[in-house]
Structure 1
Amino acid sequence: MTIERNPVPLYIERGMGSYLFDVDGRRFLDLNGNFTTLIHGHAFAPVVAALTHQLQRGSCFANPTESEIELAGLLCGRIPQVDRVRFVNTGTEAVLFAIKAARAFTGRSKIAKLEGSYHGAYDWAEVSLAATPDSWGDPTAPNSTAFYRGMPASVLNEVVVLRFNDAEGARQLLSLHGHTLSAVIVDPMPSRGGLIAPKPEFIAAVQETARKNGILVIADEVLNLRQGFRGASARYGLVPDLVTMGKIIGGGLPIGAIGGREDVMKVFDASAGPPLLPQGGTFSANPLSIVAGLAAMRHLDHAALERLETFGNIIRDGISRAISHRRAPLCVTGAASLFRVHPMAQPPNEYREAYPGPPAAALMKQLTHFFAENGIILPYGAAASISTPMTRTDAHFIVDVFAGFLDSHQDILDRMELRR
């Protein structure tokens, strides 16, 4: 079976559980999950039931609903440091308003962010998202690089770039720019940055220096909230002032949320006059996204997350054993229900180490293509995710297909000059 993904994409006819079916009738185990959104897979029955019921009652209103309060209460009850919640339509909007909230609270305009870390399509959040060896500059003071042609120079001047897991560098740069920084935004495990675990000393350096300088810490958990019942920040010891959420909290429909400390969230408060930060949107907190998200999150209990972690461990351990057995110059990173394969023998510590040269990037594209030919959708250059409908058999199938890739590409692996 030959599958051309570039320039011709797969056109999907339907999804059911952990599988996708394309218009040609082919079935694929889905490790993309609409970019990690579908933690319960496709057509999850409780979500379908909630949406069916809500559609019969109306799709959107200009007024709040009780279900909006229920989902907000669920998130506040689960996620530490989340005292209040504002709903928006996407993760991009959640980050946008979290940054604006930090500016409104501190009266400062600049932000700091991690090199290579994705936070949606907001100019300031996109700085150094796609930095390359030709542009990223000094390791002790990374350049602020433009993501697209025409990005204003003023935006670049308002973003301080940190390197993930560089504790001393973060401490120095946050201290140097502390009097102008409103916030530092941190993804606890950046997907595009390598899906690498944060070092405790890095988390401590960011947190301690931010507190000392009056800088708010924004945890971007739009993707990584799925790492545990209380999210990823709690897993890695990060204590943020604001948290951005999305993806899994919408049950497969568009959603975003900003949560955080009550005093910081008061910048949105319009009860006593104009707020410090106005925020609204035609479809923000629309009842379809809210009821779908409420159904999904209610079924994402401790047992479901423990099962996902177990299967994630089976996949990561199985891939590692296949690599070790064949002495292939590859490795796997990730946690909980997420994993990512790297074309290097040792796990990277940060974005620059994870950045693949042309031969390595070509190999990863071949890996994605091989998986598709064998009935699995594997994202390229980002996190692969598993979902609750997946089985132990599915987990072993993923490992078997990866081992098959190593066996069929052994000659290429032997010839390539990958980092060992």
Structure 2
Amino acid sequence: MQDLLRTETVGGAVLLIAALVALVWANSPWRDAYTGLRDTTFGPGGLHLDLSIGAWAADGLLAIFFLVAGIELKREFVAGDLADRRKAALPIAAAACGVILPAALFVITAMFTSGASGSELSGILHGWAIPTATDIAFALAVLAVIGTHLPSALRAFLLTLAVVDDLIAITIIAVFYTQELHLLWLALAVVPLVVWHVLLRRRFTNPVVLAVIALVTWGLVHASGIHATVAGVLLGLLVPVARWAEDDPEYRSIAERMQHRLQPFSAGVAVPVFAFFAAGVTVVGGGFGEALRDPAAIGVVVGLVAGKAVGIFGGTWAFTRFTRAELDPSLSWTDVFGLSVLGGVGFTVALLVAELSYGAGSAQTDHVKFAVLVGSVLAAVLATVVLRRRNRHYARIQAEEQADYDGDGVPDAYQQDERRDM
């Protein structure tokens, strides 16, 4: 089971199933039971941790997902594609443009469709960051299903882009969605972070001790006012990574082992449980029509479907046009366009930012969450249409190469036919 959950297709499937179950339950005659379960509170009130189950999933369980993302970020920066500045420049530029344009299109669309002004317009525009994040698990799962013959460079490009995208999204959450900052608690959080780093550098990996340190860090960051998932990223980035250890196929570094152990829980429990409590949007009884008329929801769909595609593709093209960066020789611009459309699959982080923008349980939050689901499905379907055609193209090329046994560039089957004709 753990090995299955480490694969991208299974993790993406579990995530999708959890979201679908929540969506069906929230629109069934028993939707009050779903709402009651999500809003049930528990936890120590003296520590200000008497949170709802939905909040525990968003603040607590999702921190594990960001811990895994932080470790992956660190490994990419030290020994992965991000370590080579020339290789990393193109997807980094694409990721940045894929954040800026969706946010701009959200603002423009919301302004033109709302007709609001002043504080009302300011409230609507508070969700500008919702369409900026690509869901790394979902997008890679879609690519793994449809891309059986696509070049490996395409997956590497998407992975690098999504990792940088996550880093930008985490920064946005920390900077723009922190309502109140308590510097004392934030300063105290530095202590367990330092202990965590020192112990791991000395190769101390007792899971119980490390879990306690991580929980203390999470609690202090939560108390500081910064979203608690940032604690997961900080812990992940402080896991020591050595390039020689990452490059040695016979040696498993601490970072690799931690990511290997945490990935099944993240993909099989943390992210699906969060998606279950975040994706349960009620659209029956007039909710569907209201969502379609909500300027913020319209802006989210436009940002995810059009903003991501144009931003990622345009950023990639502009960077190759005006700098010395070059596209991988195995990729075509059609491949990049399909990948750019796939970048519009915004799920986990987008749902989280939706709650941070408009408040958990509000009508507008439900509208934009529904828009996230619609936009992500549209992006996935459009990307599938483009990339499936490219997949058939590469499958045909690979079949011809396998048929060319003598390596002269002409399939032997064609040569045999020519000899028979002669």
Shorter-chain TM range is under 0.3
Q: Which has the higher contact order (CA 8 A, sep 6+)?
A: 2
Higher strand share: 1
TM-score by length of 2: 0.27
